[in-house]
Copies of this chain bind each other. A is one copy, B any other.
């Protein structure tokens, strides 16, 4: 017997028929002898509908009242899943955020989970009851409803799994696992059996949108084993004991598994950045602070930063990337600071893409970056910027070359599946 927390997203909960399919998947887990808790999202589209109501009511809305409105979406699906499970003959009941309680900070609309009281949940599960928990919601210190910010249901699921010391947290999505790269770009992409938390964080933050980054960080911190798998599996499929998806686990567990360790785990791409170049910035202490302080104050996240080697006349070019949605605002801010910063011109390019190779294996292997640069150079792809971390190398290239670069690198690192269709 294991204790398993299952999480289903909005697409899986969109309407009575889909909820019935979810209920059958949950029922199969319980029938396999497991203790089961389920975390659910609102029906697809419902949160958007509720957010729009709030915007129409008051464009500068009070986040505490916003939370009262938007938390209702998960309240509805948790009640409906409990009802549907009961119709299948299972014992089931819903536990709202304020009932467990899921105690959060008072930061309405972007609250952080502090503690989850697991006593009621453990008693319910031990009695053979399936606990159904609305994701995304909690309760503040002053007893009001909070929400965790968009996509917070993944985080709710991991937090519940940590609270009940679950053996596994299964996140059902509309993909069947984490791939070496986007299968829509590379037909030979392979599903990964296991990735480490660190790899998943890099893959998620650079554009592989399978899990919310926050939920992966929390899983790493709490040591929760997470499986990503598809909710659109055949109804007659065996229980998820066969681990059909991708397991996200600690570095140690991957090391201990019999799967041969790849140097590189996956290739990610991200088209949501834009490049800014400031030319002829004075090469003196404090110059860089003049550039980035105003951007930080405006809440703009700067990602890659490259300062070219100083030229002999004491000036340098500074290149960096910002989210594409913040480009216009960033340009306006920098132009307003031209005198303080002392640059000559500010240039921008929104048609860029960031390509990243990710893998814990590169910690102990040299040559990963040079393989990347050579493979791209061989195909004439120009690198505009480079940044690296312990388990990642990212390059900025022309957006039009995204797909080509991903395919080239997937092959160069030996990730192509042997048996996949060409």
Seen from chain A, the residues whose Cβ lies within 8 Å of a Cβ on chain B are 16, 19-20, 50, 53-54, 56-62, 64-69, 71-72, 75-76, 78-84, 86-87, 93-94, 96, 98-99, 143-145
Report whether B53 and A66 are in contact in the complex, using a CB–CB cutoff of 8 Å.
Answer: no
Minimum Cβ distance to chain B for residue A121 (Å)? 14
Q: List 27 A–B pairs whose Cβ atoms lie within 8 Å, in order of A's numbering.
A: A16-B57, A50-B76, A54-B83, A57-B83, A57-B84, A57-B87, A58-B86, A58-B87, A59-B87, A60-B87, A62-B83, A64-B93, A65-B80, A65-B83, A68-B76, A68-B78, A68-B79, A68-B96, A69-B79, A69-B80, A71-B75, A72-B72, A72-B75, A72-B76, A75-B75, A98-B98, A99-B143
Q: Which residue of B lies closest to A71 (CB)?
A: B75
Minimum Cβ distance to chain B for residue A158 (Å)? 24
- Which residues of the other chain, B, contact A68 by a CB distance below 8 angstroms? 75-76, 78-79, 82, 94, 96
Q: Is the interface of A mostly helix, strand, loop or mixed?
A: helix
Bound form: Cα–Cα A71–B287 in Å: 57
Report whether B86 and A62 are in contact in the complex, using a CB–CB cutoff of 8 Å.
Answer: yes
- Which residues of the other chain, B, contact A82 by a CB distance below 8 angstroms? 62, 65, 68
Bound form: Cα–Cα A56–B80 in Å: 9
Q: Which residue of B lies closest to A61 (CB)?
A: B83
Minimum Cβ distance to chain B for residue A128 (Å)? 16
- Which residues of the other chain, B, contact A69 by a CB distance below 8 angstroms? 75-76, 79-80, 83
Report whether A83 and B99 are in contact in the complex, using a CB–CB cutoff of 8 Å.
Answer: no
Bound form: Cα–Cα A358–B57 in Å: 44
Minimum Cβ distance to chain B for residue A80 (Å)? 5
Bound form: Cα–Cα A72–B72 in Å: 6
Q: Which residue of B lies closest to A19 (CB)?
A: B57
Bound form: Cα–Cα A55–B349 in Å: 54
Within 8 Å by CB of A86, from B65, B71, B87, lies B65
Q: Which residue of B lies closest to A81 (CB)?
A: B57
Bound form: Cα–Cα A65–B134 in Å: 13
- Which residues of the other chain, B, contact A58 by a CB distance below 8 angstroms? 83-84, 86-87
Minimum Cβ distance to chain B for residue A96 (Å)? 7
Q: Which residue of B lies closest to A142 (CB)?
A: B99
- Which residues of the other chain, B, contact A96 by a CB distance below 8 angstroms? 68, 145
- Which residues of the other chain, B, contact A66 by a CB distance below 8 angstroms? 79, 83
Report whether A65 and B94 are in contact in the complex, using a CB–CB cutoff of 8 Å.
Answer: yes
Bound form: Cα–Cα A65–B57 in Å: 29
Bound form: Cα–Cα A81–B58 in Å: 10
Q: Which residue of B lies closest to A73 (CB)?
A: B72
Chain B CB within 10 Å, residue with most, of A76, A82, A99: A76
Minimum Cβ distance to chain B for residue A41 (Å)? 15
Report whether B64 and A80 are in contact in the complex, using a CB–CB cutoff of 8 Å.
Answer: no
